[in-house]
Each structure stands twice: as C-alpha cells, then as structure tokens.
Chain A
Amino acid sequence: MRELEYLRPDSAAAAVAAVADRPGARFLGGGTNLVDHLKLGVASPELLVDISRLPLTDVEAYDGPDGSWLRIGTNVRNSDLAAHPVVRSRFPAVARALLAGASGQLRNQATTGGNLLQRTRCVYFQDVTTPCNKRDPGSGCSALEGYGRYNAILGASPECVTTHPSDLAVALTAMDAVVVVLGPEGERRVPIEELYRLPGDRPELDTVLAPSDLVTAVELPSAAANEHATYTKVRDRASFAFALVSVAASLDLAGGVVQDVRLAWGGVAHKPWRARRAEAALRDRPFDEDALRAAIDEELADATTTDQTASKVPMVRNATTMTLLRLAEEAAR
C-alpha cells in the first residue's frame, strides 16, 4: 500500500476543495469498499479526505415547487436508513433493498453516498494480477473469456461486461431518486438515471461524477407508486451475497388497470437498468400475467447472453413477474 495522507475537513465545501486540489485524492465514507480496495491495490490514493463525520445525517421531508421530497444526508448509514420509520412506510422498496445488502455490521458502517459509489465486484477488477479495462484502461477484459456468472446481459460493451453491485441504487432508480452533488462549481441535482453510465469505450468511469464531486444527499419524491413497492433479490445463498439479478418494482392499479408502474433491474447491466420499455407496455392497460410477461420480454429483446449468463434471462423474467403479481395481490387486498 502506498504512503497515505489523511485529512478530516470540517465542512463539505472544504472536503470538495481538498479533493479538487490533489489529483491523487479520494473521499472516504464508511470505508467498507475503499479500504478493501487499498488492501487489494485496486485503489492507491495519496490522500484520503474523510467525510464520514460531516453532519450530513438528517432524513427530512420538505416541500419543493415540484412536490414533496424526502432528503437523506449522505452520512446516514445503511442500517439507519432501512430502519427509518418514513422509509419503511413510504418507500418500502428502499428499505427492502438495503436490508437485502451486505451484513448487519457492514450496514452499520456503510454510508448512503458510499453505497451508490461502490465499485464493481467483478473478480478480475479486484485482482490486480489480471487484465481489466475498468481498473487499468486498455489492458483488456478478463471477464469476456473467464468467470462470467455475474456479467451483464444488457448494455455491455466489448470493453467491459460487468454489472453494478448496489442493491440500494436499483431501488432508487425505480423511485426516480435525485442525487445532490456538491462540486467545485457549486451544488447540482442529478437524477439517478443520469448518474450511472454504460461502459461504452470508457469502462473506467462508473458515473458522470468527477473525483471532486461530493454526494451530499439523496432525495426521494413522494409518489403513491413509491408506497406500493418492493424489492426482490435472487442470489446464490439466502443472505449475505450479491445479486445475480434483482428487481425493484412499484405498481399503482385502479380497477385492474395500470395507472403507474416502475421497474428497475439489478445484476443485468453496468448500471441499474430502468425497464422503461416494459413500463410503457404495461401503463394504462389491464393488468394480467400474460401482458406482464410480454412486456418483460419486450425489455429483454436486446439481451445478449453467454453460457454463463443465459440463466439470467428466465431469472429476471420470473423474478419480475412474481414481484409484480405479488404487488397486484397486495393492492387487491
């Protein structure tokens, strides 16, 4: 591990300035991903700017010109967010996604922003002895020919076929969350769908953020659909494992007709995949299982698979069907 300077600024602006001033600087949140990467040699910053004690820890509702929002400070820990009464009652998919991730200890430590900006779990990305375009641009992609069960089936490029590991990000994508970012030029609000990238020919970039962009908060819009929502995770063991595929879904039905539906998939792409084609096929139509399966297949029309990922197609199809049928059943009660 290379020599490491450590700084704990007392304001968000000072933290942003400290990272902007030094090319080798990185923010440190809960450290559950970054400290791992220091040990593995995947990350080798010269300076860590510790933001984990900045008082960005509130969860509060506010009314804006475009409706009411729940604003979550970046330093709210994953466990506290999942346990928050408003999140449990009004954004159940967010609580469910958090509770499906990592372990009790890790959730006590992991921050909201850190969770969203955690890096891929691709085994080659984490192994510095192997080629990986994301870690070392231009070196090649070991996952194309190697171990590929966690690879993408949508939106991949020949440069990188990995998936985004965060469960929370998938739920936030279905909820139309907005990420509040403080950069050297000031604050801006980035809709979560615009935060994440597909790999294209720049797989080293996970998001549109610059290194000195600090996530200060995440905002959730109040919407009826977000209350009738849930999260389903398919994995190799019942607990403490990353997703093979996952589904965040919300459904608003009236008289058996879909008023609103939101659907996002995890484990299928380099970013949380908002299934807009499927949503459009379902909206304003009578809801039944045949229509649902047809809509999902429309979204999956462009899927490309290998021997190792072929199983993800029926996995995501069935998990989505099950999840939406269950939401419809709950709505009927």
Chain B
Amino acid sequence: MDAQLSLTVDGTVHSLTVDTRTTLLDALRERLGVISPKKGCDHGQCGSCTVLLDGRRHLTCLALAVAYDGAEIVTADGLAADGLHPVQQAFLDQDGYQCGYCTPGQVCSAVGMLDELKEGHPSHVTEDLVGEIEPSEVEVRERMSGNLCRCGAYPGILAAVCEAARG
C-alpha cells in the first residue's frame, strides 16, 4: 500500500508518497537524498540513524515513515545551517571522531541529551532521583550509551560532549 505524507527536514517541507513498509531512515536517505543520518545496524542498536524529531532525539531505523506524517526533523546537517552548532564545534575541538560514520548520530544524540539534562531528567547513574544533576562524565557516558562508535573514538566523543555540556 502507498501512503502520502509530508515531512519537514532541516527546514524544507517535502511531500512524498511511500510504500507503507518504508522506514523513516530509508525515506530520508533514498527518497529525499538526506544522507546525514547513517544506516549502521538498522535494528536500533547503534544510534547512527539518530535525528531530532519534533525536538527530541529519535532513531529513524525502527520507525515507519507513514507513522511520522507531519513530523519536523532536524539532522546533523541541519544543525549547521547557520554555522556549526556548539556540539559540532566541540567534536572538532576534541577530535570526537575517526571515520565519521557514527558522528551525525552522535551529534544529534548529544544535542537531544543536553536538553534532557537541562530539563533535569535523571539517568540510570543518577544517585538522587529528585535532586539536582551534575553533567559529570559518568552521566554523559550513560546518557550516550545508545550511540556506538566502531572506531572506538569514545575518549574524544566523551570530551566533546562534556565540553558542550559545560557550555
């Protein structure tokens, strides 16, 4: 079955017709030519397909495009529309990548994660569920665990996200 939908991606509105089985990731990459989100595992396990969807970090591989009609999506590419986003600058400053494949997902995840921290959301490693939260290294590691890096650039990624968290 085909379905019609509209997606706003990095500020541009797109209308498209997709087979209902198309994932959001395939719709972005194959249909709209938006190749910043990457296909790593295609099963929710690596985070490389992460975007900001209606303002929150979200995978696109375990999502059917048809279910996201009307969504507003920002990719790592779109974050740089008016110059580098502070998180992207921090990745440059701290050498937060090697091959770069996981990087767009890491960047979107970090941006979404920093908002969650700002809103005071606790994590698995937060000692006091109702207290103030320090954006410590331990917190950042836990909160970024949904993004794998096959090159193992974790020390740089961690340093970059911590730099961005300190603002």
| A binding-site residues for B, Cβ under 8 Å | 1, 3-6, 8, 28, 31-32, 35-36, 38-39, 48, 50, 52, 79, 82-83, 85, 88-89, 92, 95-96, 99-100, 102-106, 108-109, 238-240
Contact = CB atoms under 8 A, between A and B. Distances in A.
Given A82-B121, A106-B59, A52 B67 contact: yes
B38 interface: no
Interface in B57-89: 57-59, 62-64, 66-67
Nearest to B59: A105
Given A38-B21, A240-B146, 8 more contacts: A4-B1, A6-B67, A31-B64, A83-B119, A95-B129, A100-B124, A103-B146, A239-B145
B130 interface: yes
Q: In terms of DSSP, what is the predominant structure of the interface of chain B?
A: loop
Nearest to A32: B62
A109 B145 contact: no
A108 B67 contact: no
Nearest to B116: A104
Which of A39, A89, A240 has the most C-beta atoms of chain B within 10 angstroms of its own C-beta? A240
B129 A108 contact: no
Nearest to B145: A239
Contact of A102 (B42, B56, B146, B147): B146
Interface string B36-54: 0000001110010010000
Which of A8, A88, A95, A96 has the most C-beta atoms of chain B within 10 angstroms of its own C-beta? A88
B111 to A, nearest CB: 12
Which of A3, A32, A104, A108 has the most C-beta atoms of chain B within 10 angstroms of its own C-beta? A104
B10 to A, nearest CB: 19
A92 B129 contact: yes
Q: How large is the interface on B (under 10, 10 to 19, 20 to 34, 35 or more residues)?
A: 35 or more
A53 to B, nearest CB: 8
5 contacts: A5-B1, A35-B62, A88-B122, A100-B124, A105-B109
B129 A89 contact: yes
Contacts of B44: 32, 36, 106
Contact of A3 (B1, B119, B122): B1
Contacts of B147: 103
Nearest to A231: B124
Contacts of B142: 238-239
A79 B56 CA distance: 11
Contacts of A82: 121-122
A35 B121 contact: no
Which of A4, A50, A105, A239 has the most C-beta atoms of chain B within 10 angstroms of its own C-beta? A105
Contacts of B116: 79, 83, 104
A291 B109 CA distance: 46
Contacts of A3: 1
A88 B133 CA distance: 14
Given A31-B67, A83-B121, A104-B57, A88 B130 contact: yes
A108 B21 contact: no
Contacts of A28: 64, 67
Contacts of A104: 57, 109, 112-113, 116, 143-146
A247 to B, nearest CB: 15
B3 interface: yes
Contacts of A50: 67
Contacts of B63: 31, 35, 109
A6 B3 contact: yes
Interface in B124-167: 124, 126, 129-130, 141-147
B98 interface: no
A105 B66 contact: no
B107 to A, nearest CB: 13
Given A83-B121, A88-B129, A105 B42 contact: no
A38 B21 CA distance: 9
